A and B are shown apart, each in its own frame.
Chain A
Amino acid sequence: MISVKELIKESRFSGNYFVPDTYIQGDLESGLIENRDGGRLLALPESFIQAIYEGLTEEVGNASEAVLYKCGAWWGKTFYRRFAEEVSQHLGRPLAEIDMIEFLQSFQQCWKTHGWGNIELDFDFYQNGFIVAKIYNSAFARTSPTLDKPKCFVEAGLLSSFFGGLTGQKLHCIQTTCESLGADCNHFVLGLPERVKRAEAWLQEKHDHATIMERLSHGQADRYVKP
Chain B
Amino acid sequence: MDTALQSLLYAADDHYLSDADLDRFHQDIQSLAERIETYETLRDRELAILQPTADYLSEEFPTADPKLLERSVIHWINILRYSAMAMLLNDQAFLSQRILEWMPDLVQAYQLQDIEKTLYRFLQMQLKNSLSPEQLNLLKPYLEEAHATLLSVTPALQPAA
| Residue ranges of A at the interface with B (Cβ–Cβ < 8 Å) | 1-5, 7-8, 12-16, 19-21, 101-102, 104-105, 109
Report B96-113 residues with CB < 8 Å from chain A CB.
97-99, 101-102, 105-106, 109-110
Contact A2 B73 (CB under 8 A): yes
Report B116-146 residues with CB < 8 Å from chain A CB.
none
Q: Given contacts A2-B54, A16-B101, are A8 and B77 in contact (CB under 8 A)?
A: yes
Contact of A15 among B51, B55, B102 (CB under 8 A): B102
B82 contacts chain A at the CB level, 8 A cutoff: yes
Q: How far is the CA of A4 from the CA of B74 in the complex (A)?
A: 8
Contact B54 A4 (CB under 8 A): yes
Q: Which residues of A contact B69 (CB under 8 A)?
A: 2
Contact of A101 among B55, B78, B82, B109 (CB under 8 A): B109
How many chain B residues sit at the interface, stated as a range, is 20 to 34
Report B39-58 residues with CB < 8 Å from chain A CB.
46-47, 50-51, 54-55, 57-58
B88 to chain A, nearest CB (A): 15
Q: Given contacts A15-B78, A15-B98, A16-B99, are A2 and B105 in contact (CB under 8 A)?
A: no
Contact A16 B97 (CB under 8 A): yes
Q: Taking chain A's interface residues, is the majority helix, strand, or loop, or is none over half, making it mixed?
A: helix
Residue pairs across A and B with CB atoms within 8 Å: the count is: 59
Q: Given contacts A4-B47, A14-B78, are A102 and B106 in contact (CB under 8 A)?
A: yes
A114 to chain B, nearest CB (A): 15
Contact A5 B74 (CB under 8 A): no
Contact B97 A105 (CB under 8 A): no
| Residue ranges of B at the interface with A (Cβ–Cβ < 8 Å) | 46-47, 50-51, 54-55, 57-58, 66, 69-71, 73-75, 77-78, 82, 97-99, 101-102, 105-106, 109-110
Contact of A2 among B46, B66, B78 (CB under 8 A): B66
Contact of A19 among B47, B51, B66, B97 (CB under 8 A): B97
A129 to chain B, nearest CB (A): 22
Q: Given contacts A7-B77, A101-B106, are A1 and B58 in contact (CB under 8 A)?
A: yes
Contact A20 B97 (CB under 8 A): yes
Contact A2 B106 (CB under 8 A): no
B52 to chain A, nearest CB (A): 9
Q: Which residues of A contact B58 (CB under 8 A)?
A: 1-2
